[in-house]
Amino acid sequence: MQEKIIILDFGSQTTQLIGRRVRELGEYCEIVPYNKFPYDDPSVIGVILSGSPFSVYDEKAFRTDLSRLRSHLPVLGICYGAQFIAYTSGGSVEPAPSREYGRAHLSSIDNENPLMQNIPVGSQVWMSHGDTITSIPDGFRTIASTDKVRIAAYQVEGENTWGVHPEVFHSEHGTQLLRNFVVDICGGKLDWTAESFIESTVRSLREQLGDDKVVLGLSGGVDSSVAAVLLNRAIGKNLTCIFVDHGMLRKNEFRNVLNDYECLGLNVIGVDASAKFFSELEGVTEPERKRKIIGKGFIDVFDEEAHKIEDVKWLAQGTIYPDCIESLSITGTTIKSHHNVGGLPEKMNLKLCEPLRLLFKDEVRSVGRQLGMPEHLIKRHPFPGPGLAVRILGDITPEKVRILQDADDIFIQGLRDWDLYDKVWQAGAILLPVQSVGVMGDERTYERAIALRAVTSTDAMTADWAHLPYDFMAKVSNDIINKVRGVNRVCYDISSKPPATIEWE
């Protein structure tokens, strides 16, 4: 049985970052809503309480009874979690005289305390709070302070219960603090690796699926590709993959991806349904209608192809852990569905198999490498399901797709040639619904404008525009204008997320 740390989510936007830091240590963890602790799970070795958008004294603040946890397991409260433990035990939490945002330094540390081992005085921490703990109950002992915050960290005497005020994941020695908790206090073995995941998942897939046949929808992206290779290792010929070309893929992507999958030994059916999608999208300009048309069209094509395979019992998908977390609010109610092919399980009356649903994106890539997949597949940038349809603003025509494919191909290949592709989280070209005046040779032109978008990120929750070299941008712009018929202007999007999104539609 895989030991685990449970992270109770009180609604912080950074809860996933705590989970990723714990996973990066090599310890398996799961994120669950604050009021859904799995008391019947004997594999839990420790509990972390996350931050929250609320103050602990707010009427709407999320509350749960921690007495059972504190008496049986090590508990670490971070930010709101630390304030909640202190407040519900009789301490005081009040609005800070001035809101605590930015860098601070630990002015005193109890290095004898197991949580604070190997963390030096002067260590930089990141404060992001409107509240502060002004007093702690009897039996609580302060183990760290900053020059402005007297109770930056504490332990409950006689208990394996700690609270930490700063944002651990942004602090200079935050990883060391988490290691102290996970290893020294909880006894974690740090045995969560890509290799161990593959071994246990292949074994469980064989038990789950038996001799049943499975169909999987491939997108060409890393998630569905790794899911396919993992399933292929587990059940071999009983897996059939379907790759649908809706006409909005990148230039030559349909052929290139099929070649990649053939080299991986996958059983893949490639379906060119571009004519169907172009017909159904004719004249459509509203982004959500485009998505719905492509989503329904994909389901129809996939369903038709899957019915040609006898006795299929399962639909496999490349759903990953952030999808599962974001699909639930902290009250456990569904906010939005992240199923890659939403609607298919119900339409086809199939059981759902999601072998990657416990992995973050970087872990998916690690598993892919361990499975022997080529780097260009593993490092592939995210690409929207509707493809270039949401990068063409306005109506979609084969000619517009051709223009965008050519421009995008120059941009992406340029990133590879200049050794910039792996430094960028996601990149692509957008065809704008405007024309502008230009001069080519001695002639006046009135042609289309292309916007280039490249962002840096770790998980797509936030993103900054990539600061690409001017020489590179000049070369790409010149190549697009000279080589792509119908384009005479290139712009670069320097918006961050938030407020802008990565995609334009």
Residues involved in catalysis? 79, 165, 167
* Residue pair 356/320 in contact by the 8 Å Cβ criterion: yes
- Both tokens of residue 436? 């502008």
* Residue pair 70/137 in contact by the 8 Å Cβ criterion: no
Q: What three-state secondary structure class fits 19?
A: helix
Q: Is 200 exposed, middle or buried (0-12, 13-18, 19+ CB in 10 A)?
A: exposed
Residues 6+ apart with CB under 8 A from 457: 425, 426, 463, 464, 497, 502
CA distance linking residue 412 with residue 434, whole number of Å: 23
Residues in the chain: 505
Q: Considering only CA atoms, which of 490, 495, 466, 505 is closest in space to residue 410?
A: 490
CA distance linking residue 211 with residue 36, whole number of Å: 35
**What are the C-alpha distances in Å from 498 to residues 100, 250, 363, 381, 463?**
22, 26, 25, 20, 7
Q: What three-state secondary structure class fits 137?
A: coil
Give the containing element (helix H, strand E) for 317: none
Amino acid at site 217 = G
Residues 6+ apart with CB under 8 A from 481: 438, 487, 488, 489, 490
Q: Considering only CA atoms, which of 406, 298, 374, 395 is closest in space to residue 342?
A: 298
- Both tokens of residue 198? 């593959």
CA distance linking residue 254 with residue 387, whole number of Å: 12
CA distance linking residue 82 with residue 88, whole number of Å: 10
Give the containing element (helix H, strand E) for 401: helix 398-417
